[in-house]
Structure 1
Amino acid sequence: MVSICKQMAKSTCYKIMFVMGVIGIAAILFVGHLTGYLGYLGYVYCSSPEFIYFAGAFVSFCWYTESTIELILAMNRCVELLSSEMARKIFKGKKLYIWLVIPIIYGLSVITWTKTGAFSGIYFSWFFNPHIGYIDDVNQVYNVTLHPIHDLVLIFFLLITYVTFCVIFLFKQGGLQSNQQSYSEIMIFLQVFLISSFNTFAAFIYVFMQYIHVNEVIIIIGQILWLNVHGIPPVVYLTMNKTIQRDCFTTFKETLSTIKQFYKSLHSNAIQPLIHQINFVREDNQLTMQNQQIREQANIARAQRSFRTPWYVSMHLDELNRTISGRPGFEHFERSYSSAVHWPRGTMGCTLFSSCKLHII
């Protein structure tokens, strides 16, 4: 869808393909997922009448609208091959939107004025008779005439379009054309043919099984074809359209690059705070150790300063004075002591104290 959006301005067929893609995605949710869910639980119409009715209306709208747009796409490719000037006159500008609005209005009108399909868990598919499998519609009460008419007209015009496309292509092959242009036209035809063929076979089987009792194998095949009507276009585009292949490859590379950058940024945002935290703890431990060393040095310096203070010296000198007081030979100590205790902090008091102490020993 992203690739188709990029190419919408270049060609009208991409705009038609985009609308088909939107309807196809919506239809797959019901034709694929919802059908599997209801079949797994064995739902029938009476299990949930309102829900199954609206679901049937939606899948009917998707079928009528998408198949009609598919026919318009085939016509667009056929006219484009015949004459580019004619294609611009028919599909260019606002005319294209008219072509796209018509199928939508048509689909809404059909589900409004006719009966819609109902799911049957007995046959694992959608039928107009909500009681199929246990009550036959003998009086054709649930018969919808428009549905087979729509499918038969779709088959007829798709076949006419295929034949016309082949005739125009073979006719133009007789002219002077490059091999590259011929190859591009062949690939366009094959894409339209493969996509439309699923519509053709699905329409044929559903017309057949609505009015004729068929076995379960045919019903399952019809359901698979209906699912591929909405699911096969992306496969065809990715395998056969080089423009879409190139855009998807570029988008894929850009997505991987974005994821890689996001992962790197996420990894960086997760690791860097942890690294900062580790560095902070390391620096804090170093600072703590430095603080401890500073405190130890301060304690040592404080102890040294305290040892040289007058009050510390005077305390020890008092003790020595009491010890040696009155002994002969220490008269000079008493005289020195009286002057030492009044000195300011310095080395004199320490020297005096040390010398006296050694003398006593």
Structure 2
Amino acid sequence: MRFHETSLFGVLKYGGTQNMELYNCSAKTREQWFATGRAQPELGWALLAYGVVIEILYIPSLYVISRPAYRRMPCYKIMCLLGPIDMCAIVTNSIVNGYLLTQGAVFCTIFNIILSLPILYGAYFFWFTPPVLFTSVHDSWFFDPFIFEGRTAEYMNPPHTLNNLLLCALTCCLYTALCGLLAHQFGYSSDERKMSWAQKSIFIQATSICIANLVAALVYVFMQFFPTPQFFILLGHFGWELCHGFPAIVYLTINRSIRREVFRCLGFGAYLDHSKRHTAESRKITSMHAVSTDGVHPRISKNAAEA
């Protein structure tokens, strides 16, 4: 078969997977194909639960980000665009993946469902490249449906490999340049120009996501061509999950603006106002105590200043 005929374009051309040589599952019954899989309920339910939690966390965050006051800022426009993409990816790599692991599914047990998932790669990858398929044998997604032995090379997806390798190369280059710029700007500057905690926090968050992306991209390319230990396959898959799930956690734990608006939407506005007043009073008391320990009462210091 030609390269583009192993994609969903080929499914439409031939009228279904059973008419495609490389994806024909007629050699075994559905029960026999299930017997080749490996059900892992514990891992499956853990991934499924993670996916559900991330989806729940994303909903209020995206609701807040999509408000006009936030959409005026370019960074929130990007976050608003990436959010639905992340949610779709989490459905695949966590919820669907977890369910399929509990069932011990392989391609030939659910081929009508699993062939629709490459839409996550975009229009080109969806129509003109081979689909990525799940197998519980290796707990992850491969281009080879493992129907025939010794024919893995016929299922290869060069655009995917090129995409991931370019992603890795660009990520390394851009982050090397960014680290160099930050070192030049803040490494030898005065205290006034040193990195704030907020800047450090954002840099750490972005670096963590990019490292997860880098690991996932490299592992997913490597395991398509070479025998890979199960640990590294799971590491790559967890990296893929983290790429799309970590932002939802960050929005509600690190980003104060989004967290505050989400709490207000959930009816915790009064609690936030009380907490804010309490924090302000605590800071005022701490400041007064610091002045007092220097041997001068705050009121005396104030009168002296006025004099």
Aligned to 1:110: 125
Residue in structure 2 matched with residue 128 of structure 1 by the alignment:
143
Aligned counterparts of 1:116 and 1:246: Cα–Cα separation in 2: 41
- 1:4 matched to 2:65? The reply is yes
Distance 1:180 1:248 in 2: 31
The answer to whether structure 1 residue 40 and structure 2 residue 102 are counterparts is: yes
Cα deviation, residue 53, structure 1: 0.8
Let me know the Cα RMSD of the aligned residues. Answer: 2.6
2:232 alignment partner in structure 1: 218
The 8 Å contact of residues 165 and 189 in structure 1, kept in 2 or not, is answered as no
Alignment of 1:111-190 (within 5 A): 111-131=126-146, 135-137=149-151, 140-173=153-186, 178=192, 182-190=196-204
- The residue number in structure 1 matching 2:281 is none
Task: Tell me the residue number matched to 2:38.
Answer: none
Q: Distance in 1 between matches of 2:116 and 2:157?
A: 17
Equivalent position amino acid for 1:122 in 2: V
Offset at residue 182 of structure 1 (A): 3.5
Q: Which has the higher contact order (CA 8 A, sep 6+)?
A: 2
Gaps of 5+ in 2: 1-61, 272-307
Whether the aligned pair in 2 keeps the contact of 1:8 and 1:14 (CA below 8 Å) is yes
Residue 208 of structure 1 is matched in structure 2 by 222
Which residue pairs with 1:237 in the alignment? 251
Whole-Å Cα distance in 1 between the matches of residues 265 and 183 of structure 2? 37
Contact 2:263 2:269 in 1 (8 A): no
Once the 2 structures are TM-superposed, how far is the Cα of residue 120 of structure 1 from its aligned partner?
A: 1.0
- Provide the rounded CA distance (Å) in 2 between the counterparts of 1:153 and 1:43: 32
TM-score, normalised by the number of residues in structure 1: 0.52
Q: Give secondary structure in 2 for the equivalent of 1:231.
A: helix
| Structure 1 residue aligned with 2:241 | 227
1-side partners of 2:233 and 2:124: how far apart?
27
Larger radius of gyration: 1
Cα deviation, residue 17, structure 1: 1.4
1:21 aligns with 2:79: no
CA distance in 2, matches of 1:129, 1:238: 39
Partners of 1:191 and 1:237 within 8 A in 2: no
Deviation at 1:184, TM superposition (A): 3.2
Structure with the larger helix share: 1
Paired position in structure 2 for 1:251: 265
Q: Deviations over 1:157-202 (max 9, x none)?
A: 1112212222222333256784697433322222211121111111
Cα shift at 1:256? 9.1
Correspondences of 1:241-320 after superposition (within 5 Å)? 241-254=255-268
Residue 245 of structure 1: how far off its partner (Å)? 3.1
Amino acid in structure 1 at the alignment position of 2:143: F
The residue number in structure 1 matching 2:15 is none
What secondary structure sits across from 2:71 in the alignment?
A: coil
Do the aligned partners of residues 241 and 41 (structure 1) sit closer, same or farther apart at CA in structure 2, a change above 3 Å counting?
same
Q: Partner of 1:126: helix, strand, or coil?
A: strand
Q: Deviations over 1:79-114 (max 9, x none)?
A: xxxxxxxxxxxxxxxxxxxxxxxxxxxx21122111
Unaligned ranges ≥5, structure 1: 65-106, 258-361
Say if 1:175 and 1:10 are closer, same or farther in 2 by CA, change over 3 A: farther
Using the alignment, how far apart are the partners of 2:183 and 2:66 within structure 1?
A: 32
Query: 2:106 touches 2:136 (CA, 8 Å); kept in 1?
Result: yes
Paired amino acid for 2:168: I
Following the alignment from structure 2 to structure 1, what is the Cα–Cα distance between the partners of residues 195 and 256?
14
